[in-house]
Chains A and B, each alone.
Chain A
Amino acid sequence: MKKLFMRADFIVILTVIILSILLFIPNLFNNSTLTAQIYVDGEVVEEINLQEVEKSYTLTPKNGTKITVEKGKICFSDAHCKDELCIKSGWLSKKGQTAACLPERVVVSIKGTDKTDMMTY
């Protein structure tokens, strides 16, 4: 009686499983990365891996516009504009979230997309 699986079949199955796992590992790694980008006048001036932040700190990318960085989140903490909409945006902690200080042309954005590709507001 023939065996259901031959040795060769096991080799093939094992190869596929190993390769699939190897293929999945970088994806797993990428998905967990939370990277904030700070734009000034359309150029990225700072890229921060928010998960690697150990201690809270503040950046001043332009004219007194302050950005506070903590583990897993980032926000505008001071600005000279009248409406302070950037500060009111609060903490950004999810992929695709953006806050901007329009008068100073400073944008903070968390790279990637979550459940949505783009927001309409």
Chain B
Amino acid sequence: MGDTSLENTNGKKQVNKKALISVLVCVVMVLGVVLADFVKGRSEYSSTAIAMGTVVNIRLFGSDGEETAEAVENNINETEKALLSWREKNSDIERINASAGTTVSVSTETIDVIGKALDVSKNSGGVFDITVGKVTRLWDFGGDNQRLPSDNEISEALESVNYSSVKITDTTVITAEGQSLDLGAVGKGAACDRLKLLLSSTNTESAVISVGGSLLLYGDRSFNIGIVNPENDKEAMGTLKLSDTCVSTSGNYEKFFVEGDKTYHHILDATTGYPADSRLSSITVVCESGTLSDALSTACYILGYNDSLALLQKYDAEAVFVFKDKTVRITDGLKDDFTRTDESFVVAK
């Protein structure tokens, strides 16, 4: 009898000990999850800024978020002020325009952007053209002097538009006399490319940064990118699940004005000098290079769906085309990544 009671006491003790260990294991596991969640929460840093005349949204995952966000903002300002804005005194583009017809030494980064833009100009048959500066200045979309220019003014300005006059070497650019470069259609994408380089030297694991409509998706983390509904700029019409790439959208709703009974949007066909007569409301291009995604979104908006496919293929780029009648066409490489979020749009098969 005495032996049995001893066994029972030991058995009970053992059960209690087992229970205690199990509870402890559970507590440790749950605390681990809490801690991981806390660390993850801490490692995300978000901020909003204004740079390049647009809103910049920054979401960084990793450490040193605050310093990195500041570096991101400075980097975008540098892209605008020192390299690509024709408005900024002494930027590379302002100097090229001021000395049109003579050789100008500029940074290799600017050469790289001009080179890519010229390539898209050529491959788009000139509907996209970075020498369109004189024409865009006439219209001045979004500026203080926005207006409908006369046919004569446009014909005159068009005489200076010819991408094939621009010659580049590793460090220099020469344009034709009277010619004016405008890199507005690639600037924000080019900023994304520079940010990618910047982030690779920081402690950022993943990031998503929007510079206006151009986005940089950095690292392996997947992000849900909303494509804006052309009829309601606060809502998405669909999303793309993407990682480690660049995204740019061009749409007729971004900058426009109405005169008489006609709406004039800011995407100019460089061969006519007038807003592109497109069946599209918007096009979103996904490409490894931000400069190319930005240039292609403009070029493909002007070209329309059928003529864009070969151009996109040339650059290994994919796209979502949103038509004015709310039809949506998606290139094969993006079909599995796209989710429609607004049922009034119809995805064509």
Contact = CB atoms under 8 A, between A and B. Distances in A.
A89 B235 CA distance: 11
A83 B142 CA distance: 8
Contacts of A12: 19, 22-23, 26
Given A116-B226, A121-B228, 10 more contacts: A6-B15, A23-B34, A42-B49, A90-B234, A98-B57, A100-B50, A109-B57, A116-B236, A120-B213, A121-B212
The SS class assigned to the A binding surface is: mixed
Interface string A77-112: 000001100000110101001101010010101010
Interface string A1-45: 000001110011001100110010000000000000101001000
Given A23-B34, A119-B236, A105 B50 contact: yes
B26 A15 contact: yes
A55 interface: no
A42 B155 CA distance: 42
A102 B284 CA distance: 24
Residue among A42, A83, A109 with most chain B CB within 10 A: A42
Interface string A47-61: 000000000000000
A38 to B, nearest CB: 10
Contacts of A11: 19, 22-23
Contacts of B22: 8, 11-12
A115 B229 CA distance: 14
In this complex, the member of B15, B22, B223, B247 whose beta carbon has the largest number of chain A beta carbons within 10 angstroms is B22
Contact of A120 (B46, B50, B227): B227
A8 B213 contact: no
Interface of B: 15-16, 18-19, 22-23, 26-27, 30, 33-34, 46-50, 53-55, 57, 59, 73, 142, 144, 208, 210, 212-215, 223-228, 233-234, 236, 239, 247-249, 251, 254, 282, 284, 341
Interface residues of A, number: 34
Contacts, number: 108
Contacts of A117: 59, 208, 223-225
A79 to B, nearest CB: 14
B249 A121 contact: yes
Contact of A92 (B54, B144, B234): B234
B342 to A, nearest CB: 11
A118 B55 contact: no
B27 A15 contact: yes
Contact of B210 (A82, A90, A120): A120
A39 to B, nearest CB: 6
A41 to B, nearest CB: 8
A8 to B, nearest CB: 3
A115 B208 contact: no
14 contacts: A8-B16, A8-B18, A8-B22, A12-B22, A19-B27, A23-B33, A42-B47, A89-B233, A90-B234, A116-B239, A120-B248, A120-B249, A121-B228, A121-B251
Contacts of B212: 121
Interface in A57-84: 82-83
B54 A107 contact: no
